[in-house]
Amino acid sequence: MMYGAIAIFAIAYVLMLVFSKYRPYIALGSALIFIVTGMLPLGNIVGAIDFNVLLMIAGTMGIVALFIESKMPELLSDLIMEKVPNVKWAAVAMALFAGIISAFVDNVATVLMVAPVALEICKKLKTNPVPFIIAIAVSSNLQGAATLVGDTTAIMLGSALDMSFVDFFWYKGRPGMFFAVELGAVLSAIILAFLFRKEKASIPKTGERTKVTDYVPSALLLGTIFLLICASFIPNKPDMTNGLICCALLFVGLIYKLAKKKNVSAIISPLKEIDFETIGLLLGLFLMIGGITEQGVIDAAANLLAKAGGGNIFVLYTVIVWASVLISAFIDNIPYVATMIPVIAGLAAALNVDPTVLYFGLLSGATLGGNCTPIGASANITGIGILRKEGYTVKNSDFFKIGIPFTLAAIIPAYIYLWLMYGV
């Protein structure tokens, strides 16, 4: 049934790329096929769903709705507009800002936090927010590999290698993964500046700043960031820890608003802002990936990838990096990385080589590959969902013209750097 699973998965992805407005329904419908046909057994349905991500999205979306109501995004947009000369540098600044946050906080949460500020800037400048949000999403994905706490894949690799937070900066007496990511970030920022080169409209300096009406939502958002960072250092924590943190702080925010407004309807508006279409799309994708994983597709892909490198460590490293980029453009990188970690361990033992360069190549390729397509990473799906709620349609071409050059600009210097540091 493996080939049938591949066929259903491939057709679903093509349909999602062609019919972007119906992605949630296509994903959920395809997931249902996997379940009905038995390719995803009933007993494995719950295990295939990443409830942590779904809860984190729902909770953060609600907190962000309170954050927007407080007018803090408008104030932050005013402050950023005071510091940058034109629209081009506003876009680059927002992408870099998102990247910095994403080095310490989950990519999806980062997009949900930063996007409202970008939308406010675009409203004031009367410019199209689509490229702004796409740039924020891809920048968030890039920085996820910079630190131990930046992304689930980084946490998984750190656990497998027993790495500490500091090891991502300095490992085995050499500059670590963090610097590979930052090299890519510098070049990708230059690429973004080039892509936004026509946005030369100057930003008006009015000298006026929006007055924030309530600082509690901002405190809740900062509290979310702080608690997510703290939680990353807790060993053997429950899988849904991050999601429960976000939902708990949303609950606190709703109780606060209810006490302040003394009206039950006051808590309805933040809940309405939760994008259930995005959650439905991710739910469908999780089940589809669970189906192809159950049918051995990811295991087969990992083994094929390993064999393609032969016995040459440089060829093996090259194959792992670029195949990871390609595979992660279509398959969620978490199950793929989880499968490849033991494969690389076995390869390194058989070849009697230090596996560090292979592990880091896996992490960089798998993390950045999601930037190639609009449905290659949860952050991309979330960003597009935000734009859809604002009434904007994101064409595949809109995403590709930013995502693909950004990916190449980020992965090429990281590919060279990691080989020079750990492969030679």
Instruction: For residue 424, count CB atoms less than 10 angstroms from its CB and return exposed for 0-12, middle for 13-18, buried for 19 or more.
Output: exposed
CA geometry: angle at 100 spanning 174 and 128, to 5°? Answer: 140
Dihedral pair phi/psi, residue 202, rounded to 5°: -75, 155
Residue 394 amino acid letter: V
Residue 331 near residue 101, CB atoms below 8 Å: no
What's the angle, vertex CA 309, arms to CA 303 and CA 312, rounded to 5? 140
Q: Write down the H helix ranges in 177-272.
A: 177-195, 216-231, 241-261, 268-272
Kindly provide the residue ranges of all beta strands, DSSP E only, lying in 104-173, ordered along the sequence. Answer: 170-171
Residue 149, pLDDT score = 67
- Unique residue bearing structure tokens 């709620």: 389
Whether 242 and 231 have beta carbons less than 8 Å apart is answered as yes
Residue 48 CA to residue 291 CA, distance in Å, equals 8
Give the rounded distance of the alpha carbon of 54 from its chain centre.
13
- C-alpha 100/C-alpha 79 separation (Å) is 17
Q: Is 186 left (phi over 0), alpha (psi -120 to 50) or beta?
A: alpha
**What pLDDT does 136 receive?**
92
Token pair, residue 269, equals 């508006």
Q: What is the pLDDT of residue 309?
A: 67
pLDDT value, residue 335: 66
- pLDDT of res. 415: 94
Which residues are 86's β-sheet partners?
202
**Nearest one of 186, 187, 153 to 168, comparing CA atoms:** 153
DSSP 8-state secondary structure symbol assigned to residue 346:
H
- pLDDT of amino acid 342: 72
Task: For residue 287, give the nearest of 32, 43, 5 by alpha carbon.
Answer: 32
DSSP state, residue 86: B
Ramachandran angles phi, psi of 394, nearest 5°: -100, 115
CB 334 within 8 A of CB 50: yes
For residues 407 and 364, is the Cβ–Cβ distance under 8 A?
A: no
CB of 24 closer than 8 Å to CB of 280: yes
pLDDT of residue 74: 76
Six token digits for residue 47: 């295990």
Mean pLDDT by 10 residues, the chain (424 residues): 87 82 88 93 88 82 82 78 84 86 77 85 86 91 80 75 81 90 89 86 74 87 82 77 88 90 80 79 84 83 70 86 87 72 76 86 88 82 88 87 90 93 84
- Domain spans of the chain? 2-423
Are 84 and 93 spatial neighbours (Cβ–Cβ below 8 Å)?
yes
Q: How far apart are CA 190 and CA 29, in angstroms?
A: 41
